[in-house]
Amino acid sequence: MKKDCYPILKNTVRIKKMTSACWIVDLVADDGLLIHPFEAFALSLCTGEYTLENLRHIFSSVFRMETNNAFDTVLNKLEKYITWNDEISYNAHRYNPKTFLYDLKKDNSSSQLRFESPGEMTIILTHKCNFRCIYCFNSSGETKEVELNTKEWINVIEQARKLGVVKCTVSGGEPMLHPGFFDILKYLTDCGMAVYTCTNGSLIDEDSVRRFKEIGLTCIQFSLDAASSEVHDKMSAVKNTHHKVINSIKLLREAGIDVYIKSVLTPINYSNVSDLIDLCGNLGVKRLVLDRFDLSNAGRGNTNLFMTREQEIELAKLVEVKAKELKGKMELVAVTIPRCWTSKEDLIVCGAFRQSLNILPNGDISVCEKLVGIPEMTAGNVRKNTLEEIWNSKNVNDILNPERDDIEEPCKTCEFLSGCHTGCFALSLFVSKNPYSVDPRCWKGNIPNNPYIKAAYEGI
């Protein structure tokens, strides 16, 4: 680290203050991290106005330290949240450093497995969509629900702000089909939240790009599953939209808005992946995530569209080569193998109701958008209760802490149960018809005809 550089906290980063810790999260590609207020204080000083050497002196004077080691250690640990500039700049989203000078409340009862209030939320504005993607997990298309209107969504967002939500993902369906889409985005950014919206990109034009800029959006995620229009049509089940998506990406990049692409891989578009990577690189896409298909209890995602084991291995090799070629130009991420967990290090803990909320178009608050219409996985509705009431409700506690008799083996007697809580409720429900059965990806499971085991080890 050069002592004359100007460290600045990225504009996409938010910090949530809690009684027993702080939580830092980046808008994109980050599940968040629990940090000490001491570390949050150090980061809050990184406004882009002071050199590293200046900040060392400020930090050491506040904490009466004679060395720079502590401050440098914090920045080294949390470097991914910081940009290093050669000249003075200004962070649009600032924190008062005094906010993080407080005594921690000692609370070891939860070990921070669950936040005292949510840190992030996903709002599904509508299930309406002009695409019919073959892998869609929530049957997006037409809707018969009475969906929340703009006024209702703004009321929900205001409640979330007061609870300390710092990050919001706006999704659908196609969220741009909601009549209050731009008003909702603006209210979110006015509340100081880091806002991330997901779209298929087909409805974006010059006027919408202008509005994105005025609102202050810095990045948008697209769904793009192929470089070929023919393959794209097969994946989206709608013809003649590929060129619209490509044009939207160009418009956003010309306006200085970062574009992130998420592509779902199936046997249908697998052979087009190399061309897709090249296309995204040439378009100036900042990040491309190649995600594997996952089964879902809802929507069109209940059809097995897994790639074979051989295809996944071949893909991993391709991504390794392409990632090196594109280093510094585009981040390339592939969620491929291992498909199944092979040890406790692979365990993935769902953040639903622990740090995050999922709010559906009709106001239901569900464990997951993949569990639409499952009463036992729905904690409440924002038309009947406040977010705070739902977050602290018996319903949420019952979902997260089921009766032992409801939990199936091997989870019931597993030493990791308190950590993983049986894994993904949605996958367990689809494969075993019980959300509290073993996650089909778990190495301890012994599920007959398990599609995940077949795909991972036997080929399909």
Q: State the Cα–Cα distance between residues 203 and 200, nearest whole angstrom.
A: 8
Give the domain extent around 319.
Answer: 120-346
The DSSP code for 375 is G
Contact (CB, 8 A) for 8 and 93: no
- Return the exposure string of 122-153: e unless at least 16 CB atoms fall within 10 Å of the residue's CB, then b: bbbbbbbbbbebbbbbbbbbebeeebbebeeb
Do 96 and 126 have their domain in common? no
Do 197 and 63 have their domain in common? no
Do 140 and 14 have their domain in common? no
Do 321 and 292 have their domain in common? yes
Do 174 and 316 have their domain in common? yes
> Could you tell me the CATH number of the domain that includes residue 53?
3.90.930.60
In a domain, 351, yes or no: no
| Residues in the chain, pLDDT under 70 | 1, 29, 66-68, 105-113, 138-144, 296-303, 336-348, 446-460
Q: State the Cα–Cα distance between residues 58 and 45, nearest whole angstrom.
A: 9
Do 61 and 192 have their domain in common? no
The DSSP code for 458 is I
The DSSP code for 457 is I
Q: What is the pLDDT of residue 447?
A: 67
Cα angle 360, 364, 366; round to 5: 80
Q: What is the pLDDT of residue 448?
A: 63
Q: Which residues contact 258 (CB under 8 A, 6 or more apart)?
A: 218, 219, 220, 252, 286
196's torsion region: left (phi>0), alpha (psi -120 to 50) or beta? Answer: beta
In a domain, 391, yes or no: no
Report the DSSP pairing between strands 22-26 and 13-17: antiparallel
Do 141 and 18 have their domain in common? no
Place of tokens 């779902």: 264
| Burial class of residue 389 (count of CB atoms within 10 Å of its CB; 0-12, 13-18, 19+) | middle
Q: State the Cα–Cα distance between residues 392 and 399, nearest whole angstrom.
A: 12
Place of tokens 């709002």: 123
pLDDT in tens, 157-188: 999 999 999 999 999 999 999 999 999 999 99
- Return the exposure string of 204-218: e unless at least 16 CB atoms fall within 10 Å of the residue's CB, then b: beeebbeebeebebb
In a domain, 451, yes or no: yes
Q: What is the pLDDT of residue 193?
A: 96
Contact (CB, 8 A) for 355 and 115: yes
Do 93 and 128 have their domain in common? no
Q: What is the pLDDT of residue 261?
A: 97
Task: Determine the distance from the C-alpha atom of residue 16 to the mean position of all C-alpha atoms in its chain, rounded to a whole number.
Answer: 16
- The angle, 0 to 180 degrees and rounded to 10, between the axes of the packed helices 273-283 and 242-254 is 30
Q: What is the pLDDT of residue 142?
A: 67
Q: State the Cα–Cα distance between residues 410 and 423, nearest whole angstrom.
A: 12
| Burial class of residue 277 (count of CB atoms within 10 Å of its CB; 0-12, 13-18, 19+) | buried
Enumerate the β-bridge partners of residue 8.
47, 83
Short-list 115, 143, 175, CA closest to 353 = 115
Q: What is the amino acid identity at position 439?
A: D
Question: What does residue 18 show for φ and ψ, rounded to 5 degrees?
Answer: -130, 170
Q: State the Cα–Cα distance between residues 63 and 74, nearest whole angstrom.
A: 14
Q: State the Cα–Cα distance between residues 78 and 10, nearest whole angstrom.
A: 11
Q: What is the pLDDT of residue 428?
A: 84
In a domain, 358, yes or no: no
Q: What is the pLDDT of residue 347?
A: 67
Q: State the Cα–Cα distance between residues 98 and 195, nearest whole angstrom.
A: 25
> Could you tell me the CATH number of the domain that includes residue 129?
3.20.20.70
In a domain, 338, yes or no: yes
In a domain, 352, yes or no: no
Do 34 and 124 have their domain in common? no
Do 449 and 317 have their domain in common? no
Do 87 and 135 have their domain in common? no
When divided into structural domains, the chain yields a total of 3
Q: What is the amino acid identity at position 147?
A: E
In a domain, 368, yes or no: no
In a domain, 124, yes or no: yes
pLDDT in tens, 237-260: 999 999 999 999 999 999 999 999
Q: State the Cα–Cα distance between residues 438 and 417, nearest whole angstrom.
A: 10
Do 298 and 163 have their domain in common? yes
